[in-house]
Amino acid sequence: MTGSTTENVRAAEATIIRIQSEGEVLELDYNGAMCQHPGSLWWGTAVGYRAMQVAAEALSKDGLWSRDNLYVVTGHPGPGVKDAVDYVAKVVDKDRYHAVTAEGCGMQCNSQMKFEWWVSDGEKTAHINLRPDFVPIDFYKLSDRLGTPKTTKEDIKAFRIFKVNLSTRIWNAPLEESFTVNVLDSALKPGELPKAVDEHYFDDVPTGA
């Protein structure tokens, strides 16, 4: 889909996201996000892409949203999430993508990660959260155990099953049942962090530990 007319263009439906880029309307499909992140076709890619569908709808109330001024902050450090977001927004190479990570956790799945995003278009910001009870506590605990001497073959198998099941759920459920979104009438400047991202940001981790 190309052209500059955006009237009556749906920003998101089924596996599709539509977005403007330098005056052109692009139609993106989830298959493209999976191709961008071939190392894992599961959970991180799925939840990142679905979050961007939420952003697409939230930021398109007054006309189809655009890549041109997007800036994304995420509380999830996973590479699948990053690749899915970048497939849609093209923000990584522009230094307009910021992953907030807890000290010592690195850029990988862990119990400190948050399924939370701020997507700013230069005028307003969509604050997006995955439903708190969507991901089981056991998933967070297992993600911490992986890659340590305590990891077992059963752990690896269970983690893969978790990711497949979560991916299936995120696609079968309507967006409004899986995510909450609040549109703020202010923009984040590239490099700026939301007020919520302070020294206490990771205090309420969901592990119950």
Backbone angles phi, psi at 59, to 5 degrees: -95, 10
Is pLDDT above 50 for 80? yes
57 within domain boundaries: yes
Helix (H) or strand (E) holding 79: helix 79-89
* 128, 73 Cβ separation under 8 angstroms: no
Assess if residue 190 is contained within a domain: no
**Number of domains observed in the structure of the chain:** 1
- Residue 85 clears pLDDT 80, i.e. is over it: yes
Tell me if 7 is assigned to some domain: no
Q: Summarize pLDDT for 162-185 with one digit per residue, the tens.
A: 999 999 999 999 999 999 999 999
Binned at pLDDT 50, 70 and 90, residue 39 comes out as low
Which CATH number does the domain housing residue 178 bear? 3.30.1330.130
In a domain, 153, yes or no: yes
Cβ distance 188 to 126 under 8 Å?
no
**Domain membership flag for residue 20:** yes
Which residues, other chains included, contact 118 with Cβ-Cβ below 8 Å and sequence gap of 6+?
72, 73, 74, 125, 126, 127, 128, 188, 194
Residues 44 and 76 sit within 8 Å (Cβ to Cβ): yes
pLDDT digits (tens, 9 = 90+) for 151-161: 899 998 998 99
| 65 within some domain | yes
Over residues 194-207, mean pLDDT? 82
Q: Is residue 40 part of a domain?
A: yes
Q: Is residue 191 part of a domain?
A: no
Average pLDDT of span 89-109: 87
∠ CA 38-39-40, rounded to 5°:
90
Residue 102 structural domain: 12-184
Task: Answer left, alpha or beta for residue 85, where phi above 0 means left and psi between -120 and 50 means alpha.
Answer: alpha
pTM for the whole thing? Answer: 0.91
